Structure 1
Amino acid sequence: MTLLPRSHLPLLRASGAAMLLALAACGDKNGTPAEPAPKYAAEIRRTAYGIPHIKADDDGGLGYGIGYAYAQDNVCLMAERIVTANGERAKYFGPEARGITEDAVPNLASDFYYRLINEPEAVANAWQQQPAPMRALVEGYVAGYNQYLDERGKGGLPDACKNAPWVRSMSSADMMKIIRRYAVEGGGAHLIEELVAAAPPGAAAPAPPSPAAAPRRGGASPIDPQYWQEQHARFGSNGVALGKDATENGQGLLLANPHNFWQGDFRFYQLHLTIPGKLDTMGASLGGMPMVSIGFNKDVAWTHTNNTSSHFTVHQLQLDPRDPTSYMVDGKSQPMTRKRVEVEVRQPDGSLATRSHDFYQTDVGVVMHVSDQLEWNRKVAYTLLDPSMGNHRMLEQWRAMNSARSVNELRDGIDRIVGLPWVGTIAADKEGKTMYMDVTVVPNVPLAKEKACVPEAFRDAAAGGVLVLDGSTSACRPDNDPAAPQSGIFAGASLPRLERDDFVQNSNDSAWMTNPAAPLTGFPSIVSLDAQQQSGRTRVGIAQLQARLAGTDGLPGRRISMPQLQGLLFSNRVYYAGQIMDDVLRACDGERQARAANGAMVDLAPACAKLRAWDRTANLETNIGFGYFASVWDQLYGSSLFWAVPFNVADPISTPRGLRVDDPAGVSALRTALANAVLDMEANGWGLNSTWGEIQHTERNGKRIPIHGGLYNYGIYNAIVSKPAAGGGREVSEGGSYVQTVMFDRNGPQAQAVLSYSQSVDPASPHYADQTGLFSSKTWHTLPFTEAQIAADATTKRISIRHKAKQAQ
């Protein structure tokens, strides 16, 4: 017997392994060729409410599982998202039609814009800048989505896209286009019609935004600051993180309450992602994003709120008197670059025609046109510079957050990557640390440059964070910071953040009042404004937190439990009712009748009785008093009756408040508003015995599900937007979406959540309305996170998927 030296054993083992692989490749003992190892493989376990728990050995497999699972629930939504990002809506749906969300622009304008920003060179550049793991994730997602589509076939898809010509397999380029679309949501995507409306003086141009939607300027400023403030972000959110000085067990506790559209591309999707030993994170993602956007892992939980930073700059160009398509910079004429974009458009007879549009590009962005505000004439033109088009770091950013092991690690990753496009971050960890970071892609315009470069006519707007810069000098371009990951934006470390052991919060106001005990001040206007009146949601959130921690809310103790934090959201307290209702009820005293604006005499007694009985909430059982209050508020807000106690920078949570009703004229105006409110309720068809739950709803498969909550501007933390519906009532269009609370204890994260509109857009799916019922009843679902919790879920269904080698990539 010959013995080999120990040093030869590794070589022998390696040779043996190679031989086994070679034999396996040859086939089994009967000579049947062995099936090649799959390029991608994943396990998908679905627990209650259809939540997929996706496990894979690597990033490619994880993406593969995500793409497949998402297609199972929302294949039609993803197919249409691909159409939009490729600028093909007019080809399939006609030029004038719009998407299903209320802010959607005509298809033709949408197509021109997305063809512009998603030109092949830009998409290829975005792909080249993705780290290798992110490329694998995207390629896997594409393979998973395509495999599902291949298995079902067009004829096996849900009715919304069954056999539709616009459904096709996707590519990695499609995914990059979708990600780029998300990136510009805080900038250019808000101003599509304004960009498409721009044309040289005397040239034919598409019609600008309709007069009904167009802003009207007021005062000395040539632009309307309120209009431009609304271009910063479409959505709202609330977020609260509680630290060791505020929670019952001294560990972190988080509330996530993002507000998004209930239909369309920006719906959240719940999922749990695991690569053993590398990643284990759960929460929700924006549809189509192969990563958790808002969620938690075993060490840290986080959420996002849309911030008030401006993610673009406007530049006033001084034009060359000889040519309105050339502009002067440092005394020299520079030509604009004309970029022609062509799209196919479906005609009424079904045929296709090609339409083109010329965009004019400069070194400070694309020329735009806003009627009565920023117009292109022979002297000046205005451009939109959107640095988010250079942000290719979103996937990398969320991947770093998904795997963070503490608030500190989360902070460092955000500072390094600066990949969040338009959302600030609120986080808590198991050690009881909390943090708010307002670190997003923001043009680098420090205060000194703002003062030097904003023309006098636009300084009022600059005070509101909207910057129109002098485009005639290169000195007024955004600065470049070598510490930033791309040119023209602030470095992460220079942007607002606050770390606390009690609490941080944000409800879409600036970073200033993150915690009133430590105001964040002194930042450039484009980043964060201080000494500004706060919204009702900010005020009610902080007021309730302060009362709980002070022990003045009537509950025992001075610490906050998870049920109490959930109650802060679902109390549906109407904050502004507390500020003005005593004055409103004063107007109910005296004569029974009041004259409405149309001259009719109205009996106020029934309405006043309902207002007195109203509990000042927007719950399902709330009486019609809420409707009367809402009508009065809508009529009076901003009028001479507001406010009796004005905003006081030294008391920003309690001011402003009260109505100016100390004189007969004020009381008379308020009584007229009450009379108008009575007529409004009658016109709506809402009877005196109506409840809010009978009025506000969402309809699913012919069934009305009542929904609590109400509009942002009434100061309701649980913000819900609804629109008049056929047959009376109001149908929900946006608001609370993925609602999550996460508490850390000695057993790890204890998470409860509800997805208000449910996982799937397919009416035939069992997960089309199941969580909507939970939301209606304020029921929280405990999320199974550990292997034991997943195994204990009696509804768990498991599938293993393998990528089919025959499928082309």
Structure 2
Amino acid sequence: MAIAGTLVVGAPIGPAHAGADPVAGSRVVVMRTEFGIPHVLAASYRDMGFGAGYAIAEDNLCGLADDILTVSGRRAQFLGADATTPDGVNNLDSDIYHAAVDRSGVLDTALAQPEPSGPSAAARDIVAGYAAGVNRYLAKHPVAGLPDPTCRGAAWVRPITALDVWRRINEIVTSLGGAAFAQAIATTAPPTAGRARTGRPVGVPDRGFGSNAWAVGRDATADGTGMLLANPHLSWRPATRFHQMQMTIPGQLDVSGATLFGLPVVIVGHTAGVAWTHTISTVVPDTLTQLTLVPGDPTRYLVDGRARSMQPQKITVRVRDARGVHPVSRTLYRTPDGPVLVVPGLDWSAETAYVLHDANAGNVRVVDQWLAFNRAQSLADLRAAQRRHHGLPWMNTIAVERSGTVLYNDAQVVPAVSDALADRCATAQSEPVFQQTRLIVLDGSRSGCGWGTDPASVVPGLFGPASLPSLTRTDFVANSNDSPWLTNPAAPLTAFPRIVGDVGTERSLRTRLGLDMIADRMAGTDGLGPPGFTLDTLQATMLGDRNLGAELAQPAVAELCAHTATLPNSDGAPVDVRSACTVLTGWDGRATAGSPGAVLWREFFHQAFAATAGDMWRTPFDPARPLTTPRDLNTGLAEVRTALADAVETVTKAHLPLDAPIDAAQRYQAIGLGGCTQVEGCFNAIEPPGSLDANGHYPDVDFGTSFLMATQLTAAGPRTRTLMLYSQSGNPASPHFLDQTRLHAAGQWVTERFTRAEITSDPALRVELLDPR
């Protein structure tokens, strides 16, 4: 977009100004189209960061400030030690963890490296500009008078630094590593008096991540173009909320999409020539190093028979309590691999300790990785960016270019642990831990048991992109968080180490449903018209709210109901299920708003799934038929029959009619929403965090479909429709707090404005000119 013309700062552009451009010579212009979507036009990367930082502060300052408070290790100082982060981590433990990350020097070391191991000049500039843009907003809107009442007057809202932004970026990339284990790391201490230190249950903590993604090629579209469906599933809390924007530096980049708070680059989006998205992969980007300790000294360990000392870290943070603010200290320990941690089953005993080796610790390359994506115009550009920067954390890439060629790959940060290395360096704990968590445990007592080498990797110890799964086609690729195996069932991927994922195992109901939806659309058997995707049918498929669990189980329920009047509840008391049976057998099997019976089905299916641990099918999984098995609900199981009776009572006690639609109970900020859960087998995952209450409501939705993007790349330019389900702003006083949420409830999308003409012709357009000096 060229910078030319004259507009009044902040003035609305009505029809009389349609087609006008921003002021000539402005270094930063923020243009807001309908639903408050910012289009940032800048003259340099630093200026672009400034505009992006200013825009996020306008929309979500309180959420961003909360994230910065966390990564600066000061939550307990302002909010008290016993409160928790939005992710449920005790504030004191969170502060200790983040202060320990700072003390470790991992981030400082990474930032001191030259490109590509460290940030490029452009990456440094956009991060510094982002911090300056946030601070400009705070200078214009002092904390005491902030427009957002959520944090107005809060002592913890402050100007930020570039280092704060890099800390936030490091937290994002380690979300499935160190940051996920923050509490386990922060509470770890050596054993005393012969007693081992034990902690919380072993496992990879659930950070509330997911996603669906399709890239549809020219052989599967009605007009031979390429299309992308991005459907990330993240928590709706600030730490993982999206912010939508377009970023334009004339002659250098023009990209539109969404990013996370604190990231000054688009992470899911499109340019004129290529569109991409990501899904959380099955790679666990960490390993555990099992240390053999020196007898009598639990802070020293043996490597090839020689003793080494752990590195102690005395961590001090400030804590507010009834006595005021005072320092609290703990001593943590680490080795060159990372921090020592304790979880039950992997104790710190007199003989053994465990270290978390996080492949993403200090991964600042990710900013350059996404900046390169933001400039890309082809799949070749994306692949070159992955080879050069190799910085994507814990995620697959699904992409399409204008030619209609599609790409799936897992070219992310993956520890170079081959199956042979994992087997050779296994300990007695390795197999049970891997089966439970997919974490690989390596024997730290042998120097030959560190991560391997790959000459194609940018940094040592990682698999290079060429060693990781990849598939290029002209029909489609898809992923819904299962392994790469059935990215496209016509071309199964199998040649990858087990640290990446598995082959020949049961797929999730969501994976199966997504692949079935694609097959039906390609065949034209889904009731949406002739075969092949169009932008309209891509949208309709996404929000059709099919429920695969219902499709697989409803026939068996109907058969049961035909011969049953009562069933025993969990207490053994008979429950009349005839009315419920009428509802369930007549239900259309979808979780669309207004569809009668969806609440009752959810309660039944969830209770049956929990009671049977998911083993509730007559036809078991068959690796030769992975897309159609398991299936056929086993209504002969007492647990299944009891679940139906209990579901009737649950809905009745919630004072809901048995035929209540899902949007009568499922809400966000009092707005009823369609969609259903991943347990049920739903593609459009919409998930409340708890049970029905006595008023017939689930707690407010806090996870699932977040930012939707359906893009068609045409010769005339991209055509895109988007939807931010929780809306663009977290400020309850903003007109954009719930406007897109209401749009979703009505089954509507936003038509993206990408070109200069599209943006400036918006009657709702508002323009702000910023001078970053």
Please give the TM-score of this superposition, normalised by the length of structure 2.
0.92
Q: Is the 8 A contact 2:77 2:320 kept in 1?
A: yes
Question: Residue in 2 aligned with 1:549?
Answer: 522
CA distance in 2, matches of 1:444, 1:160: 45
Q: Is the 8 A contact 1:541 1:568 kept in 2?
A: no
What aligned pairs does 1:346-361 form with structure 2 within 5 A after superposition?
A: 346-349=320-323, 351-361=324-334
Q: Give 1:697's match in structure 2, choosing from 635, 658, 667.
A: 667
RMSD of aligned alpha carbons: 2.1
Displacement after TM superposition at 1:579 (Å): 1.4
Question: Residue in 1 aligned with 2:672?
Answer: 706
Shift in CA distance, 591/720, structure 1 to aligned 2, threshold 3 Å: closer
Q: Give 2:734's match in structure 1, choosing from 752, 757, 765.
A: 765
Q: Give 1:68's match in structure 2, choosing from 42, 45, 54.
A: 54
CA distance in 2, matches of 1:531, 1:79: 45
Aligned residues: 739
What aligned pairs does 1:177-196 form with structure 2 within 5 A after superposition?
A: 177-196=167-186
Q: Give 1:739's match in structure 2, choosing from 708, 712, 732.
A: 708
2:48 is aligned with 1:57? no
Shift in CA distance, 654/261, structure 1 to aligned 2, threshold 3 Å: same
RCO higher in structure (CA 8 A, sep ≥6) = 2
Q: Is the 8 A contact 1:244 1:431 kept in 2?
A: yes
2:685 is aligned with 1:719? yes
CA distance in 1, matches of 2:280, 2:513: 18
Displacement after TM superposition at 1:352 (Å): 0.6
Question: Residue in 2 aligned with 1:105?
Answer: 89
Question: Residue in 1 aligned with 2:658?
Answer: 688
Displacement after TM superposition at 1:672 (Å): 2.0
Question: Residue in 1 aligned with 2:491?
Answer: 518
Question: Residue in 1 aligned with 2:623?
Answer: 649
The worse-fitting range, judged by mean Cα deviation, of 459-468 and 252-261 is 459-468
CA distance in 2, matches of 1:319, 1:614: 61
Q: Is the 8 A contact 1:199 1:205 kept in 2?
A: no
State the SS of the aligned residue for 1:399: helix
Q: Is the 8 A contact 2:215 2:226 kept in 1?
A: yes
Given residue 184 of structure 1, which amino acid in structure 2 is its aligned partner? T
Question: Residue in 2 aligned with 1:87?
Answer: 73
Question: Residue in 2 aligned with 1:384?
Answer: 356
Q: Is the 8 A contact 2:600 2:658 kept in 1?
A: no
Question: Residue in 2 aligned with 1:261?
Answer: 235
CA displacement, residues 567-594 of structure 1 (integer Å, 9 cap, x when unaligned): 2221111111111222222222334122
Question: Residue in 2 aligned with 1:47?
Answer: 33
Displacement after TM superposition at 1:669 (Å): 4.3
What aligned pairs does 1:478-497 form with structure 2 within 5 A after superposition?
A: 478-497=451-470
Given residue 643 of structure 1, which amino acid in structure 2 is its aligned partner? W
State the SS of the aligned residue for 2:327: strand
Displacement after TM superposition at 1:621 (Å): 0.8
2:125 is aligned with 1:141? no
Displacement after TM superposition at 1:659 (Å): 2.8
Question: Residue in 1 aligned with 2:163?
Answer: 173
State the SS of the aligned residue for 1:712: coil
Given residue 702 of structure 2, which amino acid in structure 1 is its aligned partner? S
CA distance in 1, matches of 2:537, 2:606: 29
Q: Give 2:562's match in structure 1, choosing from 589, 600, 610.
A: 589
CA distance in 2, matches of 1:208, 1:687: 48
2:208 is aligned with 1:234? yes
CA distance in 2, matches of 1:136, 1:382: 38
State the SS of the aligned residue for 2:318: strand
CA displacement, residues 399-419 of structure 1 (integer Å, 9 cap, x when unaligned): 000111101211221132111
Shift in CA distance, 611/533, structure 1 to aligned 2, threshold 3 Å: same
Displacement after TM superposition at 1:207 (Å): 9.5
Question: Residue in 2 aligned with 1:199?
Answer: 189
Q: Is the 8 A contact 1:630 1:714 kept in 2?
A: no
Q: Give 1:752's match in structure 2, choosing from 714, 717, 721.
A: 721
Question: Residue in 1 aligned with 2:251?
Answer: 277
Shift in CA distance, 725/565, structure 1 to aligned 2, threshold 3 Å: same
Given residue 98 of structure 2, which amino acid in structure 1 is its aligned partner? Y
Q: Give 2:120's match in structure 1, choosing from 117, 121, 131.
A: 131
Given residue 698 of structure 1, which amino acid in structure 2 is its aligned partner? Y
Shift in CA distance, 76/488, structure 1 to aligned 2, threshold 3 Å: same
2:307 is aligned with 1:333? yes
The worse-fitting range, judged by mean Cα deviation, of 539-548 and 452-461 is 452-461
State the SS of the aligned residue for 2:702: strand
CA distance in 1, matches of 2:196, 2:597: 45
Displacement after TM superposition at 1:745 (Å): 1.7
Question: Residue in 2 aligned with 1:156?
Answer: 145
Q: Is the 8 A contact 1:241 1:434 kept in 2?
A: yes
CA distance in 1, matches of 2:735, 2:474: 42
CA distance in 2, matches of 1:134, 1:171: 15
- Identity of aligned pairs, percent? 37
CA distance in 2, matches of 1:567, 1:673: 32
Q: Is the 8 A contact 1:62 1:275 kept in 2?
A: yes
Q: Is the 8 A contact 1:123 1:173 kept in 2?
A: no
Given residue 750 of structure 2, which amino acid in structure 1 is its aligned partner? H
Q: Is the 8 A contact 2:616 2:640 kept in 1?
A: no
2:544 is aligned with 1:571? yes
2:384 is aligned with 1:412? yes
CA distance in 2, matches of 1:67, 1:120: 28
Q: Is the 8 A contact 1:65 1:141 kept in 2?
A: yes
CA displacement, residues 580-614 of structure 1 (integer Å, 9 cap, x when unaligned): 22222222233412221112221111111111111
Q: Is the 8 A contact 1:617 1:626 kept in 2?
A: no
Shift in CA distance, 427/130, structure 1 to aligned 2, threshold 3 Å: same
Structure with higher Rg: it is 1
Shift in CA distance, 123/270, structure 1 to aligned 2, threshold 3 Å: same
Shift in CA distance, 165/553, structure 1 to aligned 2, threshold 3 Å: closer
CA distance in 1, matches of 2:421, 2:521: 43
Displacement after TM superposition at 1:205 (Å): 11
